[in-house]
Amino acid sequence: MKFVYGPVPSRRLGQSLGIDPIPLKTCNWNCVYCQLGRTKPVVNERRRYFPPKEIVGQVEDTLNTQDPEEIDWVTFVGSGEPTLHIDIGWMIREVKAFTDLPVAVITNGALLHLPSVREELAAADAVLPSVDAGTAELYRRINRPHPEITFQRHLEGLIAFGHEYKGKLWSEVMLVRDLNDTEQALLELVNLFHRIDPDEVHINLPTRPPAETWVQPPEAEGLMRATAILGDIARLVQPVEGTIDLSGYESLVDALIGIISRHPMRETDLERTLTQWAPDELNKTMAELKTDDRAQVIERYGTRFWCAAPSFFPNEPHSQTTAPGLPSKH
């Protein structure tokens, strides 16, 4: 199994070489906007999901065959929550031992209440935790966490890490229409950021396929309100285009499966990538992909997205556990 993919264009990190240390979809949150679908089941067990030496070995092999000028960051991101891998701290230190490229960790931050996790992530050059809600009620509605990951624990972990961490702390807010784009919700977020003290706040929009059909990005008014209230520390992170590396796999289909399992792609973007990488193979590869039982097409926002077949994207309208106006069971 390949644990390394890309580099792929990242909205925040330029050309990012991704490291995926956990199975799809291993997470202690079940976010309504998640591009990897619903979490089934929500888990909160830290363990050695995959061999850490094998993961690090693949990173080193990939970097030895890549032009370092084509990579901006090496990023632990995962098919869920990467800090659930109990050896993430060891892997970060090992990767930094053989490359001068900066190392980032994209995390929901749910385990930062554990001193051991804060110590492990301290070795990274940048940590990007999610902060989507300023109250316990909204936290449950948007992030739908494991019962052990309470809002208070999440907040305490973020504050402690913000005070201890010496690298770049970039908080991410995923704005969802009619949930956290209201004036009250944004003011509550500002209060949190004053306590967490991140270096930057990145405003993201759900432009990739969200888990729930009703999730929509904010309207122009909501986005303007967010940038005004969150202030100078915040910046809107726009979708980016860039080159996706499909090398290192036995076939183009395998390479695409490796990407879309962690990074769902619009069909138009996928076809453009193939046209850039292997124009003569476009029709043949697309035909093979359409019959491959490892991939599926999900429609969101009237757009076709390719993602991993095991990902669960419900197509039903609002339900009691997913509607914006009702609390989650978690």
Q: Looking at the chain, list the stretches that DSSP marks H as alpha helix, in order from N- to C-terminal side.
A: 52-65, 88-98, 115-121, 136-143, 151-164, 183-196, 220-230, 252-260, 267-277, 282-290
Tokens linked to 104: 């980032």
pLDDT tens by residue, 99-142: 999 999 999 999 999 999 999 999 999 999 999 999 999 999 99
Q: Which residue has the higher pLDDT, 14 or 18?
A: 18
Radius of gyration of the chain (CA): 19
Q: Domain residues of the chain, as ranges?
A: 4-308
Predicted pLDDT of residue 195: 96
pLDDT surpassing 50 at residue 89: yes
Predicted pLDDT of residue 322: 42
Predicted pLDDT of residue 241: 64
Report the share of the chain in percent with pLDDT over 70.
93
4-308 folds as: TIM Barrel (3.20.20)
User: What does the alpha-carbon distance between residue 173 and residue 90 come to, in Å, rounded to a whole number?
Assistant: 28
| Residue 296 bridge partners (DSSP) | 307
pLDDT surpassing 60 at residue 329: no
Predicted pLDDT of residue 14: 81
* Band of residue 10 on the pLDDT scale cut at 50, 70, 90: confident
User: What does the alpha-carbon distance between residue 200 and residue 198 come to, in Å, rounded to a whole number?
Assistant: 5
Return mean pLDDT, the chain.
90
Q: Report which listed range, 4-8, 77-81, 135-139, 243-247, is most confident.
A: 135-139
pLDDT tens by residue, 190-217: 999 999 999 999 999 998 899 999 999 9
pLDDT tens by residue, 242-276: 667 787 788 899 989 988 888 888 899 899 889 98
Q: Tokens 């990939």 correspond to what residue?
A: 62
* Band of residue 239 on the pLDDT scale cut at 50, 70, 90: low
User: What does the alpha-carbon distance between residue 84 and residue 96 come to, in Å, rounded to a whole number?
Assistant: 20
pLDDT surpassing 60 at residue 152: yes
β-strands 14-19, 4-10: how paired? antiparallel
Please spell the DSSP secondary structure of 112-131, one letter per residue: TTSHHHHHHHTTSSEEEEB-
> Is 131 within 8 Å of 180 (Cβ atoms)?
no
